[in-house]
Amino acid sequence: MDNLSDLRVFVQVALAGSFAAASRVLGMTTSAVSKAVQRLEAEVGAKLLSRTTRAVSMTVEGERFLEGARKLLDDADALKSEFTDSLEEPRGKLVVSAPAVFGRVWLIERVLDFMCRFQDVEVELKFEDRIVDFMSEGIDVAIRLGDLGDSVNLVARRLFEDTIHTCAAPSYIERYGQPETLEEIACHRGIHYRVQNTGLLFPFIFDCKGETVRRTLDPVLVGNNIDAIHRAAEAGLGLAQLPSFLVRESFSSGRLVEVMKDHRMERFPYSIVYLDRRLVAPRVRAFVDFLVSEPPNFLDPDA
């Protein structure tokens, strides 16, 4: 469009349902509003509004044109906002998504440190164990673990790497024995995590001579919360696979022990991701840089 102002006038008339109502919202005369719509109709070569003495209604062409016009204006406003933000200090609302346990154990403290440094940034935290949709849920930044195969429209920066341990309580081992091989593991009771996005059980993951092997055990308990799986493992209900940062205290106290050490997957990546845009808002850039500059130092419990 040669003139976004005429486009804005048309959208306002369509939403208000009359030239007079639109003129009051826009602070223009009714005549000026009518002329703006006429210029736009002449430019696109189609009648967009049907006029009567009391109101206006949309033509078929106008209804189609309105959808695209609103998207074009929204994109223009977003571009202007992002560009303006890029020239300023970090400010505004920042929506952060992260796995619940990771958020509780480490991220909350870092967010508080960030907010003390950048006091014009308002943060909303969303701790949940699922993959979020950035656009529809208004997410600015998310922490994700493992493979990022769906991140075509995202920028990802590596935050840290952790180790996943196969765990059991001493009481479980006393009752059911300690598995040593992939063949033996199939006979044991499993505490499984259910992936919220897919509804599928997340399999146990092992290393076998450099290759990744996945096993689904006989599930004695299934949960979509890692804290619940951790507590069930400490209670001796079955085997569980848990991240190092969550179980190191359980190992130190003896509430859990590691099994299948020879088949441990050594490293599991955590990344911080955000939308791939031409202009990244200062609050997003500052938060990502802040987290990456001082990543958590999660050592293996037996290191």
Pairing of β 92-98 and β 141-145:
parallel
Domain membership flag for residue 302: no
Asked if residue 225 and residue 189 are part of one domain, the reply reads yes
> Residue 235 — pLDDT band, cuts 50, 70, 90?
very high
Q: What is the CATH number of the domain that holds 25?
A: 1.10.10.10
Domain assignment of residue 33, given as a range: 4-86
Asked if residue 108 and residue 44 are part of one domain, the reply reads no
Asked if residue 37 and residue 158 are part of one domain, the reply reads no
Greater confidence (58 vs 125) lies with 125
Domain membership flag for residue 26: yes
Greater confidence (140 vs 303) lies with 140
> Residue 297 — pLDDT band, cuts 50, 70, 90?
low
Q: How far apart are CA 273 and CA 145, in angstroms?
A: 10
Is pLDDT at 29 greater than 60 in this prediction?
yes
**Which of 32, 51, 86 is the last residue before a domain boundary?**
86
In the chain, the number of structural domains is 3
Q: What is the CATH number of the domain that holds 243?
A: 3.40.190.290
Asked if residue 259 and residue 177 are part of one domain, the reply reads yes
By the 10 Å C-beta count (0-12 exposed, 13-18 middle, 19+ buried), 53 is classed as exposed
Sheet with 164-168, side-by-side order of all strands:
240-243, 164-168, 257-259
Asked if residue 210 and residue 235 are part of one domain, the reply reads yes
Mean pLDDT for the chain overall: 85
Average pLDDT over residues 25-45: 87
pLDDT tens digit string along 199-210? Answer: 888 899 998 888
Asked if residue 98 and residue 37 are part of one domain, the reply reads no
Is pLDDT at 302 greater than 60 in this prediction?
no
Domain membership flag for residue 299: no
Q: How far apart are CA 247 and CA 143, in angstroms?
A: 20
Whether pTM > 0.85 for this model: the answer is no
Is pLDDT at 191 greater than 70 in this prediction?
yes
**Which of 61, 86, 111 is the last residue before a domain boundary?**
86
Q: What is the 3-state secondary structure (H, E, C) of the chain?
A: CCCHHHHHHHHHHHHHCCHHHHHHHHCCCHHHHHHHHHHHHHHHCCCCEEECCCCEEECHHHHHHHHHHHHHHHHHHHHHHHHHHHCCCCCEEEEEEECHHHHHHHHHHHHHHHHHHCCCEEEEEEECCCCCCHHHHCCCEEEEECCCCCCCCEEEEEEEEECEEEEECHHHHHHHCCCCCHHHHCCCEEEEEECCCCCCEECEEEEECCEEEEECCEEEEEECCHHHHHHHHHCCCCEEEEEHHHHHHHHHHCCCEEECHHHCCCCEEEEEEEECCCCCCHHHHHHHHHHHHCCCCCCCCCC
pLDDT tens digit string along 248-267? Answer: 899 999 999 999 999 998 77
Per-residue model confidence (pLDDT) at position 281: 84
Asked if residue 275 and residue 139 are part of one domain, the reply reads yes
Per-residue model confidence (pLDDT) at position 111: 95
Q: Which residues contact 49 (CB under 8 A, 6 or more apart)?
A: 10, 13, 14, 37, 41, 56, 57, 58, 59, 62
Task: Pick from 32-41, 165-174, 275-284, 288-297 the range whose average pLDDT is largest.
Answer: 165-174
pLDDT tens digit string along 274-296? Answer: 988 767 888 999 999 999 988 77
Asked if residue 174 and residue 113 are part of one domain, the reply reads no
Asked if residue 257 and residue 174 are part of one domain, the reply reads yes
Asked if residue 157 and residue 22 are part of one domain, the reply reads no
Asked if residue 205 and residue 272 are part of one domain, the reply reads no
Partners of 92 in beta bridges:
121
Is pLDDT at 300 greater than 60 in this prediction?
no
Is pLDDT at 229 greater than 90 in this prediction?
yes
Amino acid making up residue 34:
S
Q: What is the CATH number of the domain that holds 107?
A: 3.40.190.10
Asked if residue 18 and residue 73 are part of one domain, the reply reads yes
